[in-house]
Amino acid sequence: MQVIIVSDAAEGAREVADVFERVLRDAGAVVLGLATGSSPLAGYRELIRRHREEGLSFASARAFLLDEYVGLPSDHEQSYHRFIRENLTWHIDIDDAAVLSPQGQAADPIAEADRYDRSIAEAGGVDLQILGIGSNGHIAFNEPGSSLASRTRPVVLTESTIADNARFFDSREDVPTLALSQGLGTIREAKEIVLTATGENKARAIAQMVEGPISARWPASCLQLHPAVTVVVDEAAASQLELTDYYRHMRRVAQEESLTSRS
């Protein structure tokens, strides 16, 4: 993993957007994996700015969402189908029909999960996946205890995740208890991953993901097995890491080598 420790959310957003811009400019017809929730929002705002002010184009891209609540129609104000459009894709030049997500109202959630997993593979897989992380170490809706080889499937949300998400609904009782989520095995098939987190409440999860043992107790720790992961965290989220001096040293050396290679 490459761990980048930033001073604030704005710097983190630029780092995340830099990864997206490199892949978009290098890969052509790129397949993006998009996360919802609060963690990627600053990065999405920076991508929108670069599209509007610097001409960064998403016209040849396709996108797959990580997850969706079971039971919510796609136009529900808290559906992830709607979230990603309001916070990113309606503001850039990607074709709306190319932004795909699991169907939360499917009559057979298991069959829908299998269909969605196959559709990602049929698209050639995800070139770049952005992730957030929950305070309990979940990525997408892969809660603690998820198989590290899991595929897209219906999942039961933990009480802590329901409580965390209740702020977006009128009441806790309105939060769905099931979701369709890409599995840890599905996510790890992305060619490149960027994960972003801010705040002290994410510090333990980040430490376990980066430096802890690989364990279903901390689902994000499976990313240690991936060959191309960039972790962008602020000082607070990095506060429980033990090797911060080394990560900063690695970053300085990488920047110096990049500068040398361009001179």
Each residue's pLDDT, cut to its tens digit, for the chain (263 residues) gives 999 999 999 999 999 999 999 999 887 789 999 999 889 999 999 999 999 999 999 999 999 999 999 998 888 888 999 999 999 999 999 999 999 999 999 999 999 999 999 999 999 999 999 999 999 999 999 999 999 999 999 999 888 778 877 888 888 888 888 999 999 999 999 999 999 999 999 999 999 999 999 999 999 999 999 999 999 999 999 999 999 999 999 999 988 876 544 43
Model pTM?
A: 0.93
Q: Are 238 and 5 contacting, i.e. CB atoms less than 8 angstroms apart? A: yes
Residue 259 pLDDT? 53
Which residues have C-beta within 8 Å of that of residue 72, sequence separation ≥ 6? Answer: 78, 79, 104, 105, 176
Residue 34, token pair as written in the block: 């998009």
Q: Collapse the DSSP code of 122 into the 3-class scheme (helix H, G, I; strand E, B; otherwise coil) and give the result.
A: helix
The three-point CA angle 211-214-218 to 5° equals 85
Residue 167 pLDDT? 81
Say how many C-beta atoms besides its own lie within 10 A of residue 14's C-beta.
17
Which residues have C-beta within 8 Å of that of residue 79, sequence separation ≥ 6? Answer: 68, 69, 72, 73, 104
Say how many C-beta atoms besides its own lie within 10 A of residue 236's C-beta.
15
Q: Are 26 and 68 contacting, i.e. CB atoms less than 8 angstroms apart? A: no
Catalytic residue positions?
67, 136, 138, 143
Residue 5 pLDDT? 97
How does pLDDT run across 163-184, given as a tens digit for each residue? 877 888 888 888 888 999 999 9
Which residues have C-beta within 8 Å of that of residue 171, sequence separation ≥ 6? Answer: none
Q: Collapse the DSSP code of 42 into the 3-class scheme (helix H, G, I; strand E, B; otherwise coil) and give the result.
A: helix
Q: Are 193 and 225 contacting, i.e. CB atoms less than 8 angstroms apart? A: no
How does pLDDT run across 138-158, given as a tens digit for each residue? 999 999 999 999 999 999 988
Residue 49 pLDDT? 98
Give the domains, in start order, of the chain with CATH numbers.
2-262 (3.40.50.1360)
Residue 197's DSSP bridge partners are 233
Q: Are 188 and 222 contacting, i.e. CB atoms less than 8 angstroms apart? A: yes
Residue 212, token pair as written in the block: 């802890």
Residue 207, token pair as written in the block: 């430490």
d(CA 94, CA 107): 29
d(CA 238, CA 110): 37
Residue 195's DSSP bridge partners are 131, 231
